[in-house]
Amino acid sequence: MDHFLYEALPMRVRFGDNSLEELPAELGALGASTALVLTTPQQADLGEQVNGLLGRAGAGVYPHAAMHVPVATVTAAREHAARVGADALICAGGGSTTGLGKAIALDSDLPIIAVPTTYAGSEMTPIWGMTEESVKRTGRNLRVLPRSVVYDPTLTVGLPVGISVTSGLNAVAHAVEALYAPDASPVLSLMAAEGVAKMLKALPRIAGDPADATGRSDALYAAWLCGAVLGATTMGLHHKLCHILGGTFDLPHAETHAIVLPYVMAFNLQSSPDALRAMEKATGSDSPATAVRKLERSLDVPPSLAAIGMPEDGIDEVVRQAVDAPYSNPRPVTESDLVGLLEAAFCGSEPE
């Protein structure tokens, strides 16, 4: 067996139906006394529910999290947290809400408890991102890693099927990149493969019956695994492109990841035999990229980047930013490679 380094990230995970009710105990375990609840405007009711569970420890709800974490939103939220005397943050929602909490924690050291309601996986990583003037910056810092994550599958039952599917495929993208990351390890590869297999089986169950308890639980478990391996490895071409696409054109985060996923898989897996074998087993196909693309079509994922609002003349700008910023990848990436990959994803042609 090759040499490798594995370092577990320091956090608590509480998983199970109705585990939200244990949130006060998680806050107590942090030694915190006043928590500000963060949500998006659409999940303000959930925020109020969470704040009510905290009793006197609840400092209210800040329902202004937004996609791609605009810097102006971060500044306003950080000032609000200081005004209410919060010594902890509770992020109740998806990746945008967790992202806002991380951005606040980056400069304030406020500990985070994440309560995920999607399958984005951001809660398991020390990766932060913020967008300013159509440019998204990302980085890694253990200060932003949630100290505790409360996974309650019942909170995901109301998640619309379309968002459930694209969110789950976003998680799959995390695991795929972890399989061929330069700092992968046998332990992380097992987690990644399990996460992909579980998610790809759970999503059709959810699409068939959004209230399927097993499907929801399996998808959230898979999201945990996929997020954890992303948090422990180096991001590559897939995440680089999606961050540029989202930050530059304000494209929906999960849909962008879902659309780009099979194209980057087709490009990279041929250069990583171990990752290819793992994905063949996880998808049950000798052409994993094609299998994922076929699944996406059956689950009504938007067919192309054009379908979610990317302008055709934006390809050159994405290529420029990708070439200018170095990133890890299992095979060299030329400007011509990027143009071909992005044109295919823009049009929705079959991955090759």
Rounded Cα gap, residues 137 and 212, in angstroms: 37
CB-based contacts of 320: which residues, under 8 Å, 6+ apart? Answer: none
Q: How far apart are CA 246 and CA 129, in angstroms?
A: 11
Work out the percent of the chain whose per-residue pLDDT is above 90. Answer: 86
The three-class DSSP label of residue 140 is: strand
The Cα 89–Cα 39 span in angstroms is 11
Q: Please report which helix (H) or strand (E) contains residue 31, including its range.
A: none
Q: Which amino acid is at 347?
A: C
Residue 4 has pLDDT above 80, yes or no: no
pLDDT-derived band at 328, boundaries 50, 70, 90: confident
83 Cβ partners below 8 Å, 6+ apart?
none
At a CB cut-off of 8 Å and minimum separation 6, what does 216 contact? 153, 154, 156, 157, 202, 206
pLDDT band at 247 (very low <50, low <70, confident <90, very high): confident
DSSP string, 92-134: EESHHHHHHHHHHHHHH---EEEEESSS--GGG--EEEEEETT
Does residue 227 carry a pLDDT above 80?
Answer: yes
Tokens of 52: 């009510």
Question: Where in the sequence of the chain do the CATH 1.20.1090.10 domains occur?
Answer: 161-347
Q: Is residue 200 packed enough to be buried (19+ CB in 10 Å), middle (13-18) or exposed (0-12)? A: buried
Residue 114 pairs in a beta bridge with 91, 149
**Mean local confidence (pLDDT), 275-300:** 97
Q: Which of 122, 118, 86 is nearest to 104 (CA)?
A: 86
The per-residue pLDDT for range 37-58, each reduced to its tens digit, is 999 999 999 999 999 999 999 9
CATH 3.40.50.1970, the chain: domain bounds: 12-156
Given the structure tokens 């809660």, which residue do they identify? 123
CATH 3.40.50.1970 for the 12-156 domain, yes or no: yes
Task: Give phi and psi for 64, each to the nearest 5.
Answer: -125, 15
pLDDT for the residue numbered 194: 97
Whole-prediction pTM: 0.90
Cα torsion angle, 123, 125, 130, 136, sign: negative
Strands 127-132 and 135-140: antiparallel
Structure tokens at 274: 């171990």
pLDDT of the residue at 1: 58
pLDDT at 8 over 80: no
> What percentage of residues in the chain have a pLDDT greater than 70?
99
**How far is it, in rounded angstroms, from Cα 173 to Cα 288?**
12
Residue range 161-347, CATH number = 1.20.1090.10
Residue 6 has pLDDT above 80, yes or no: no
Q: Identify the residue whose tokens are 């998806």.
A: 94
Report helix, strand or coil for 138.
strand
The whole-chain average pLDDT of the chain stands at 94
